[in-house]
Amino acid sequence: MPAGDAFTPDQLYDIERAVRYAEDTSGLHFSVYVGGADSETRPFALELFNELDDPDSTVLVYVDPAGRRLEIVTGSLAKRQLTDTAAGLAALTMQTSFATGDLTGGLVTGVQQLGTHAHQPPLLHASDEQHKL
């Protein structure tokens, strides 16, 4: 691995695979940013979020390893599938791993958890007819 990179190619592959899993499961877009913030973490995460292609349907996971901060930002459409409570649970999972120095494990587990929480089962009853009792 080149000196100074945050992740090895294997670690990057694991994170990308978790992102793909979350996207396939939920139908939302997932983005992961790991790096320092120029300002406060939440406004900086929102700046990054607004740069994304389809922010309304996106979940951004922002990790500031130096500041030891984690932000999960969900767009207006994404938050219908992924509630703040579910995002908070995933944040707790990631927080536990990050505190032990396991950035990759925390991201993989957390992103997978976000995707699972945002999963919407297919409708079995597509008919608009009302059921009569």
Partner 1 sequence: MIPQLSGHSLLVFVGIPLLVVAVLALLVFASSIADGPRYRPGLSWWAPPVWINGPTATKPDPANLPELPELTGAPGATVTTGTAATGVARTTGGASASW
Binding site for partner 1 (CB under 8 A): 1, 3-8, 12, 15-16, 19, 29-36, 41-42, 46, 48-53, 55-56, 59-60, 65-76, 78-79, 82-84, 87-88, 90-92, 94-95, 98-99, 101-103
- And the tokens for 98? 């990050």
- And the tokens for 70? 């984690």
Q: How far is the CB of 122 from partner 1 (least distance, A)?
A: 24
| Nearer to partner 1 among residue 110 and residue 122 (C-beta) | 110
- Secondary structure element (H or E) that encloses residue 41, with its range: helix 41-51
Q: How far is the CB of 124 from partner 1 (least distance, A)?
A: 28
| Nearer to partner 1 among residue 53 and residue 129 (C-beta) | 53
| Nearer to partner 1 among residue 88 and residue 120 (C-beta) | 88
Q: Count CB-CB contacts under 10 A for residue 17.
A: 13
Q: How far is the CB of 12 from partner 1 (least distance, A)?
A: 7
| Nearer to partner 1 among residue 71 and residue 131 (C-beta) | 71
Q: How would DSSP label each residue in 52-119?
A: SSSGGGEEEEEEETTTTEEEEEE-TTHHHHS-HHHHHHHHHHHHHHHHTT-HHHHHHHHHHHHHHHT-
Owner of token pair 């059921």: 131
